[in-house]
Chain A
Amino acid sequence: MNNKKIIFHVTRQYMKRNKGRTAVTFTGIALMVMLMTCVFVGKDTVLRYLEKVASLHAGSWHLTVYDIHAEDLSVIKEIDEADKIGFICRQGFTDFPASANKDRPYLEVKAYAPVAFDLVNIHVIQGRLPENEQEIIISETALTDGSSVRIGDVMQAKFFDRSITGINAELSESVFPYFGVSVKYGETVDVPLNFPYYPENGDFRQNKEYRGTSRTYTVVGFMESPSFESEGSAGYPAITILPDNAVLTGGETWNAVMTFRSTDATIPVKGRIEAATSCSTETNNMVLTFSANGSDSVISGITVFIEVFFVVLIIAASLILIYNVFQMSFRERTKYLGLLSSVGATGRQKRFSVYYEAAVLLAAALPTGILLGMGVIKVGLLLLKPHLNKLIEIFQAGRFDDIPVTLSVNVNNLLLVAAFSIFTVMLSALIPAVKMGKIGPVESIRGNVSGGHKRYRSKFRLLGKSGSGVCRLLAVNSTRRLPHLTRGIVRSIAVFGMLTAVTLYGAQSVIRVVNTKLRTNNYLFNLTGYDYVLISDSYHDDLYQSTVERIAKDSAVTQTKEIVDYSFGVDLNGSLLSDEYMRAYEEIVRAYVPSDEAYVQELLQNERDYSHWVMMFGMEDEDFKKLAAAGDADKSIANDPSRPAVLLYRKVELSTDNILISGYHADYHFAEVQNAFRCAVGEELPLIVESSEGNKNVSLTVAGFLDEADLAPYFSVHSERPFAIVNRSAAALIEQAAKTVEEQTVNNGYKYYLFGLKDGEGASLLKELSRKEEQVNGGYHIVSYDAINGEKGFYGAIVSIIRILAYCFTALISTVCLLNLWHSVKGRAVERRREIAMLRSMGMTSRQLRRMLAMENMRMVGTGLLIAAALSSVFMLLLNRVMIAWIGRITLPVPYGLIAGIVIAACVIMALMTLVCYRYSGKESIVEDIRNETV
């Protein structure tokens, strides 16, 4: 046996003898590997799953190329990075006599290569997919609209394209802004595929330009409405097969959908195609967002940021966990290494002993941790499944296809886990190994490695008359004079506090940025307890009033609230906007126009001179008073219902997304304005109310200002426009100004009547309200509260996903930190077993013991949290600066409430851990504990 082998043999024997310590170290490493697996494999699994969910909407394709001419085809076919390419040939419109919808009299037929059916997510709900050029499937909407078409029907198709011709000599131009179409008298223009079918009229004529092609089709199935189907379009989608041997002829164009082996190829290939051909392209942002390859650079940046930010934090937490585990057993290890040293082991051999132990434990912990990690991911995803299913519902709008969660294990990720684990364990073992290598045999055996020759003045001044002084004395001394045990806990608490706070701040900041960037609604109601909303414009005032009375009387109704939206009729002069607003506006303008100073000044002057829409809501006087009480308001004004008063929301959010300057492009920039108004409480606020008789001036008294928190019980607002709340008398003034003398031609406000229903009641009321709605042609609706209030669609779903992921990561990081804390507390308790037994043998009562432990905890938690506060402040500031440099002037609120929660959690968790870890005291015989020298 050579000298290295004997060291390894002794190390193995030591590990066997100290099973407790070995188990603690093994568990620590296995948990670290498990968490790394959760990060690397879990991230991929979740993202792949979300990609599958996202692909439910428009398909799994990464890039679509439009208008491919014959000469471009070779460029498309030779894309090396492509995994699948499916061509699509538009056949044209054909008459659809079986249609039951007079606004949709056509079929819009396309031929798909077989692979394209999968990529575009075509689902057959009746019958089967077409197998040859003579078979066709039609969108299910034709059936739901009442069409008589059935499977097996044979139809003749004569294909045509659509155009319109202006026929009204008195009308200079017919404009269809939504479709980008305008037509002058005598002119004929092509219309887009989603252009609606208009009945015959005197302004323009619809033309069919026959292509000269025709086919006979047999209907073989009905498909779920494809994502590209527009309900306002004149034709129902219908799909046949594009055979492999189809040839793209001179005058024709095809489209192509494709996926890539790596999504990273999407943007470069898109660029290459656009440079080499005249084709236009579109990326599937829903799917690509999850791999940070979407076309929105901010969202892609956020995806990368989230990955890097959380992976770095997890690794940092794991590194400290393992370092703590090795450091905790330092003193105990020094004893046996001292013995080895006394019989001739060199410093190098002692270091090897530590590395050997780390390597042996790692070899066993690595596969264990990876398997555990995969198990945790699987269980975690099953727990998350209900939330993920909600996303599926959003993407599928009504239909629900369950997507099974499958682990996405890739060798590169496992190698990364192994590499990071080896790096972390060896780095963690390095410092204790170097320290141990330097300690002489005598100090090691006597156990005074850390004490040195320092003398410690007595702490009798700590003694109080209450009898608890000795507990304080012991607590202070044990925390100060057992630094190797105390530091582990302080470090764990500091890391727990710091990482959890920074992670929460990071998560909230990301959500804030994503919300700011993607939010489509300017405001949301925050009111709780309401189920339905009656929405009415002012043209239906009488009907609205009678319905409100009906609702209020119904016994199934629990609560009601009326809010009136005057947002589209009230303006504010730009001169009333603050300097801060103007500076923010200037920032946005300069993002577009960095060099043309004259144009910048012109835009700024316009902003000052012109009128601006105000988002204005009329509230019931009681609510107005409550808001005024919460905000910075003059109660004498706010509480006087006869005085037309307004509460102004200070904040405005400007960005390049909501301020557009035509002819210029800007990278995303955001600027938050904390106080948008140039007026004071008690002053008159001149407003301009639009009416058919021209603009009228109305003056309201400024009752006060509101902040986000003041408004929170009613609204959450993220708007580029000034936002204000008015009382009843101000609302009456506005309504009066908007009305014309003879007839009402301007809608002076949408009224929202919110009401809640008792569980399981109110069906007859809802049925009655629906019948009324059916009798009215628009402007009067009854909808569910969630329908007007939820962030719908893709971006809402993205925010939900980011929120879930961010909080999962926060929970994961907290778990690592708490495991770290658990190990430290457990290690300290185990090592102090003899000490506690000695105290008990000296006559310490269990109450005194608890008090001593509580005081120790207070000191350690206090120190840990102070360090955490200092470090978190630095990291949060850094994060804040990075975000501001990236996004613009944005307030990222510090989550004080959550931080207070962390402080309370640290105290409670520490107390609970102490209770559990020191359970042995009093349970075992004192003698047994005193004799128990090894841990």
Chain B
Amino acid sequence: MELLRCEHLTKIYGAGETQVTALSDVSFSVEKGEFVSVIGPSGSGKSTLLHILGGVDKPTSGKVFIDGTDMHALKEDGLAVFRRRQIGLVYQFYNLMPVLNVEENIALPHLLDGRELDRERLDAIIEHLGLTDRRYNLPSQLSGGQQQRVSIGRALYSHPAVLLCDEPTGNLDRKTGEEIVGLLKESNRSQKQTLILITHDEALAMQADRILYLEDGKIVKNEVLRHQV
């Protein structure tokens, strides 16, 4: 079942001589529960693609459908509500709220949606992420790996339709990076969560069901590694 589809996505920055085309006529679709890696060299447009898919940036032209909704046709507040319900974003630099402790950060999108706090689920996620003894710490008191785990917890807690990860291990050592990818894969498998992972690490990308190769803003290869069961 198709969960995400993008059609003819183009993103151009600047104008005139300084104009840069970050994405050029990109189209692809992702099935529900699929794990897709997007790989490409620096400046190939990976992060731009992820931001547009995540609704935090707007395409110059083209459309993105998630679960049948044309995301960028939504008004600003509608898009914000859509984001907090349907999309989980994991950034390379974690982007945690510095004023909230671990458990408040994890629960944030859920709380923004005005939903009742599921204390048991929150405790389970915190325990699963190995952050129990850090739950009352602020992000500045955590290591990079711990911060990234909080950021994954935040993305998972509200059950989004799609999880978008932008170089989630790019800022971590190998061992911690593997732990983080393990967490993401586990979520993808156990929760049937659609996962799109941006990386420039080929070994990491190879763990996905499919790899999209991006070069100069275009998909140059769409390689299926394994089929979903």
**CA–CA, A845 to B95, complex, Å?**
18
Interface residues of B in 78-111 (CB under 8 A from A): 80-85, 89, 91, 95-101, 103-104, 107-109, 111
**Chain A contacts of B108 at CB under 8 A?**
470, 839, 842
Complex interface bits, A453-468 against B, C-beta within 8 A gives 1, otherwise 0: 1011111100100110
- Write out the residue numbers on chain B whose beta carbons fall within 8 Å of the beta carbon of A847: 77
Closest Cβ neighbor of A449 among chain B residues: B140
B100 CB, min distance to chain A CBs, angstroms: 6
Bound-state CA distance A564–B98 (Å) is 74
Report the Cα distance A357→B15, complex, angstroms. Answer: 37
Q: How far is the CA of A841 from the CA of B80 in the complex (A)?
A: 7
Contacting pair A844 B80 (CB below 8 A): yes
Contact check: which of B54, B96, B98, B141 meets A453 at CB < 8 Å? B141
Residues of chain A in range 331-381 having any CB-CB distance to chain B below 8 Å: none
Do A456 and B58 contact each other (CB < 8 Å), given the known contacts A470-B111, A843-B83, A846-B76?
Answer: no
Determine if B111 and A457 form an interchain contact, defined as CB atoms under 8 angstroms apart: no
Digit string of A811-845 for contact with B (CB within 8 Å is 1, else 0)?
Answer: 00000000000000000000000110011111111
Q: Which residues of B contact A481 (CB under 8 A)?
A: 98-99, 138
Contact with B along A471-485 (1 / 0, CB 8 A): 001100110111000
Mark A437-458 against chain B: 1 for CB-CB distance below 8 A, else 0.
0000000001110010101111
Given contacts A447-B140, A469-B111, contact A482 B99 (CB under 8 A): yes
CB <8 Å contact, A926 and B57: yes
Asked whether any CB of chain A lies closer than 8 Å to the CB of B225, the reply is no
Give the contacting residue for A845; candidates B54, B77, B97, B135; CB below 8 A. Answer: B77
For residue B112, CB closer than 8 A to chain A, the reply is yes
Q: What is the CB-to-nearest-CB distance from B106 to chain A, in angstroms, rounded to a whole number? A: 10
Residues of A within 8 A of B97 (CB): 474, 835, 838-839
Count, chain B residues at interface, CB 8 A: 39
In the complex, chain B residues whose CB is within 8 Å of the CB of A834: 95
Provided the pairs A456-B138, A481-B138, A930-B91 are in contact, do residues A841 and B117 lie with their beta carbons within 8 angstroms? no
Question: Is the CB of A925 closer than 8 A to any CB of chain B?
Answer: yes
Known: A463-B117, A481-B138, A845-B80. A474 touches B54 (CB 8 A): no
Cβ–Cβ < 8 Å partners of B96 in chain A: 838
**CA A469 to CA B104, docked complex, whole Å:** 12
- The answer, among B57, B85, B112, for a CB contact under 8 Å with A844, is B112
Query: Hey, which chain B residues are within 8 Å of A463, CB to CB?
Result: 111, 117
B86 closest partner in A (C-beta): A843
B56 near A: Cβ within 8 Å? yes
User: Across the interface, which residues of B come within 8 angstroms of A838, CB to CB?
Assistant: 95-97
Given known A-B contacts A459-B104, A477-B104, A843 and B80 have beta carbons under 8 A apart:
yes
Q: How many residues of A contact B (CB 8 A)?
A: 41
B51 within 8 A of A: yes
Give bound CA distance, A460 to B108, whole Å.
11
B14 at the interface (CB under 8 A from A): no
Q: Is B113 an interface residue (CB 8 A)?
A: yes
Task: Check if A527 is an interface residue, CB within 8 A of chain B.
Answer: no
Cβ B103 vs Cβ A842 within 8 A: no
A91 to B104, CA, bound (A): 97
Most B CB contacts (10 A, CB to CB) among A447, A459, A478, A844 go to A844
A930 with B81: CB separation less than 8 A:
no
Cβ-based interface call for A232 (8 A): no
**Bound-state Cα–Cα, A61 to B141, Å:** 73
The interface centre, meaning the residue of B54, B81, B95, B113 with most chain A CB atoms within 10 A of its CB, is: B95
Which 6 residue pairs spanning A and B have beta carbons closest together? A843-B84, A467-B114, A448-B140, A470-B111, A455-B136, A926-B56
Residues in B lying within 8 Å of A, measured CB to CB: 51, 54, 56-58, 76-77, 80-85, 89, 91, 95-101, 103-104, 107-109, 111-114, 117, 135-138, 140-141, 154
22 interchain pairs, CB-CB under 8 A: A451-B138, A453-B141, A455-B101, A460-B104, A460-B117, A466-B114, A473-B111, A474-B97, A474-B100, A477-B99, A838-B95, A838-B97, A839-B97, A839-B108, A840-B80, A841-B95, A842-B112, A843-B85, A846-B77, A926-B57, A927-B51, A930-B95
